[in-house]
């Protein structure tokens, strides 16, 4: 039986980030991953043809680039093989009749494009940009603070003093809006309204979801300013580098090590038991980089009365609709009908209108295969040519949204109610939809790999029902309510047992924040902010 200071369940980037800070502070840390490699939903692989590196799930690293983890460890991560490829053509939308909106990091170029599209939209864009700048300076720091906390309350009070009551209320009203309301308030054309609403669908913030405007409001301008960055060579470079740093600082990362249960002594979590019967004790903390479903329904004994309240809340934890991933290898770059520049954009959103997005979300929630889902087309090899060794290209297509469980097809063309039957016909529908905006796409396809919601959940149990976000981000399950009241600061009702990951504040995305915040919370609690020499190794009883 091995004893360490902390055991981390799950080697996704959040668990690895927590482990890195604890190990650097001198804690003995063991990270356990059930898969044969680290990464969780931050992984890449040769899923279509040998030599082509696809990001299997997440791809955009802008949140991580703005995290304190990257700010502190950028040089060290590079030593371990993680660097960035960036484009100043971050995202675009395409519409019928060969129309498009293209957002460049060059603000003047973007303004020129918007002005040619609609002068009123350009005026609204500039006004909304002013609000964005005020938000980022005054309220965005809350994103990197525990929720709730004195720090986040002070940030809000400082914002109120700086902005004044009227301007503060204007921002608050904006954040409380749906994306449809945000678009209608600031823009004239349906196309720019759709551009904003597409970002909400990256989460489960459909056009008419209240408090759905915050994420689109931020992403619209943040990705314009920063461009979009991805991992050079493939997303797996990030967790591999984090794991390397954990081990460099004295920690241990073990793959192919599935945790069967969390043990306790009646008062607190004391360690874990692996599927092979191995026991690893934890002196100070067990950190679960899992969803509440995995932790409370699969890893904790059902007879433990102390966690009954958490267990009930875990059963009530809501997941959003599913996603479907389509990975393509191509003979060459996509030729978009709307504009030749489009072939070089990191993301191209394919959606006709805000109403289409709303209908897609409702269809998915009703169990119906949508007729025209949002397509988030990632042109990965155009941003990072190292992903392919020759003239081939790769395409990353996220289909948002689809039902986790199928009841029927919305247009009665795809039979059956299982993803095993429906995933390939649904992929055909998606590629036919894409062909209408990118003529000749079918002839470019060399190979494809389709991941249905069932496949996503099988590859990673945190993606429950194919929900790539590890839980709905509606306001009742966000901010201080994520994953539920009383657990937003990563502590469960069992002392010493903590949760991190996309199911916790501040939610989904490759942001590293829950791992960072929990590690610093534990270090402050143990008066371990300053570094101390590492122990020689773990104790074996």
Contact 16, 258 (CB under 8 A): no
- Residue 349: exposed, middle, or buried by beta-carbon count in 10 A (0-12, 13-18, 19+)? buried
Distance CA 243, CA 255 (A): 11
Q: Which of 469, 512, 505 is nearest to 64 (CA)?
A: 512
What digits encode the pLDDT tens for the residues 429-483? Answer: 999 999 999 999 999 999 999 999 999 999 999 999 999 999 999 999 999 999 9
User: What band does 540 get if pLDDT is binned at 50, 70 and 90?
Assistant: very low
DSSP 35-86: SSSSBTTS-EE--SSTT--EESS----HHHHTSHHHHHHHHHHHHTT--EEE
Residue-averaged pLDDT of the chain: 95
* Structural tokens at position 17: 């980030």
The answer, yes or no, to whether residue 528 has pLDDT greater than 70, is no
pLDDT at 529: 39
What digits encode the pLDDT tens for the residues 458-471? Answer: 999 999 999 999 99
Ranking 292-306, 464-478, 502-516 by mean pLDDT, the lowest is 292-306
User: Average pLDDT for residues 143-151, to the nearest whole number?
Assistant: 94
- Residue 377: exposed, middle, or buried by beta-carbon count in 10 A (0-12, 13-18, 19+)? buried
User: Average pLDDT for residues 275-297, to the nearest whole number?
Assistant: 97
pLDDT at 534: 47
pLDDT at 527: 56
Percent of the chain with pLDDT over 90: 94
Distance CA 114, CA 32 (A): 49
- Residue 136: exposed, middle, or buried by beta-carbon count in 10 A (0-12, 13-18, 19+)? middle
Question: Rounded to the nearest 5°, which phi and psi values hold at 528?
Answer: -120, 35
The answer, yes or no, to whether residue 531 has pLDDT greater than 90, is no
Quick check: bond before 425 cis, omega within 30? no
User: What band does 525 get if pLDDT is binned at 50, 70 and 90?
Assistant: confident
Question: Rounded to the nearest 5°, which phi and psi values hold at 513?
Answer: -80, -40
Contact 250, 534 (CB under 8 A): yes
What's the predicted TM-score (pTM) here?
A: 0.94
Contact 208, 358 (CB under 8 A): yes
User: What band does 530 get if pLDDT is binned at 50, 70 and 90?
Assistant: very low
CA angle 325, 287, 277 (to 5 degrees): 90
Contact 317, 346 (CB under 8 A): no
Contact 168, 160 (CB under 8 A): yes
Domains and CATH numbers, the chain: 2-44+235-317+473-540 (3.50.50.60), 106-226 (no CATH)
What digits encode the pLDDT tens for the residues 309-363? Answer: 999 999 999 999 999 999 999 999 999 999 999 999 999 999 999 999 999 999 9
Distance CA 223, CA 88 (A): 9
User: Average pLDDT for residues 123-146, to the nearest whole number?
Assistant: 96
User: Average pLDDT for residues 48-55, to the nearest whole number?
Assistant: 98
Percent of the chain with pLDDT over 70: 97
User: Average pLDDT for residues 148-161, to the nearest whole number?
Assistant: 96
The answer, yes or no, to whether residue 266 has pLDDT greater than 80, is no
The answer, yes or no, to whether residue 399 has pLDDT greater than 80, is yes
User: Average pLDDT for residues 242-254, to the nearest whole number?
Assistant: 98
Sign of CA dihedral 484, 59, 135, 401: negative
User: What band does 413 get if pLDDT is binned at 50, 70 and 90?
Assistant: very high
Q: What is the dihedral of CA 32, 36, 42, 45, to 10 degrees?
A: 170
The answer, yes or no, to whether residue 277 has pLDDT greater than 60, is yes
Q: How far is CA 480 from CA 57, 168, 495, in A?
A: 27, 20, 20
Contact 142, 506 (CB under 8 A): no
DSSP label of 233: T
Distance CA 87, CA 91 (A): 10
Contact 483, 477 (CB under 8 A): yes
Cβ atoms within 10 Å of 381's Cβ, excluding its own: 22
Beta strand 228-231 pairing with 84-87: antiparallel
Residue of 530 and 46 predicted with greater confidence: 46
Contact 146, 152 (CB under 8 A): yes
Distance CA 47, CA 100 (A): 31
- Within 8 A by CB and 6+ apart from 74, the residues are none
* Structural tokens at position 251: 């920690």
- In DSSP terms, 395 is beta-bridged to 328
User: Average pLDDT for residues 192-214, to the nearest whole number?
Assistant: 97
Distance CA 523, CA 22 (A): 7
User: What band does 539 get if pLDDT is binned at 50, 70 and 90?
Assistant: very low
Q: Which helix (H) or strand (E) holds 353?
A: none
């Amino acid at each position: 039986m091995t004893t360490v200071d902390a055991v981390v369940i799950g080697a996704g980037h959040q668990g690895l980030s927590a482990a890195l800070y604890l190990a650097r502070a001198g804690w003995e840390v063991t990270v356990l991953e059930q898969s044969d490699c680290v990464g969780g939903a931050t992984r890449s692989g040769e899923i279509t043809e040998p030599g082509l590196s696809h990001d299997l799930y997440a791809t955009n690293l802008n949140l991580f680039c703005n995290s304190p983890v990257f700010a502190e460890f950028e040089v060290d991560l590079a030593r371990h093989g993680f660097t960035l490829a960036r484009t100043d053509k971050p995202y675009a939308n395409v519409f019928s009749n060969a129309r498009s909106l293209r957002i460049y990091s060059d603000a003047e170029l973007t303004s020129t494009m918007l002005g040619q599209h609609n002068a009123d939209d350009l005026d609204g864009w500039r006004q909304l940009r002013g609000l964005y700048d005020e938000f980022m300076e005054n309220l965005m720091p809350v994103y990197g603070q525990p929720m709730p906390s004195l720090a986040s309350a002070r940030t809000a009070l400082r914002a109120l003093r700086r902005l004044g009551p009227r301007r503060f209320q204007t921002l608050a009203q904006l954040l409380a809006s749906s994306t449809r309301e945000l678009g209608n308030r600031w823009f004239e054309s349906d196309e720019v309204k759709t551009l904003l609403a597409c970002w909400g669908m990256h989460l489960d913030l459909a056009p008419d979801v209240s408090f759905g405007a915050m994420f689109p409001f931020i992403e619209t301008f943040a990705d314009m300013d920063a461009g979009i960055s991805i991992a050079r060579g493939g997303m797996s470079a990030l967790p591999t580098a984090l794991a390397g740093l954990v081990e460099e600082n004295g920690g241990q990362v073990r793959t192919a090590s599935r945790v069967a249960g969390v043990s306790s002594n009646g008062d607190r979590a004391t360690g874990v038991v692996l599927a092979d019967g191995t026991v690893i004790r934890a002196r100070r903390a067990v950190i679960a980089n899992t969803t509440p479903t995995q932790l409370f329904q699969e890893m904790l004994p059902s007879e433990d009365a102390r966690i009954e309240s958490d267990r009930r809340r875990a059963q009530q934890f809501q997941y959003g609709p599913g996603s479907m991933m389509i990975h393509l290898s191509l003979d060459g770059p996509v030729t978009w009908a709307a504009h030749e520049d489009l072939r070089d954009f990191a993301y191209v959103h394919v959606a006709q209108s805000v109403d289409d997005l709303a209908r897609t979300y409702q269809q998915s929630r009703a169990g119906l295969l949508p007729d025209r889902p949002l397509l988030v087309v990632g042109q990965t090899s155009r941003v990072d040519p190292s992903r392919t060794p020759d003239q081939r290209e790769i395409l990353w297509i996220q289909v948002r949204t689809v039902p986790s469980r199928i009841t029927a097809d919305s247009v009665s063309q795809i039979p059956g109610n299982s993803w095993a039957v429906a995933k390939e016909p649904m992929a055909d529908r998606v590629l036919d939809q894409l062909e209408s905006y990118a003529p000749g796409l079918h002839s470019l396809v060399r190979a494809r790999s389709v991941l249905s919601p069932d496949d996503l959940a099988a590859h990673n149990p945190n993606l429950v029902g194919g929900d790539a976000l590890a839980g709905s981000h509606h306001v009742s399950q966000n901010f201080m309510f994520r994953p539920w009241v009383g657990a937003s600061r990563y502590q469960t009702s069992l002392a010493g047992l903590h949760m991190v990951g996309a199911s916790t504040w501040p939610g989904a995305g490759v942001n590293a924040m829950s791992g960072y915040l929990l590690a610093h919370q534990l270090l402050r609690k143990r008066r371990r902010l300053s570094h101390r020499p590492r122990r020689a190794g773990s104790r074996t009883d």
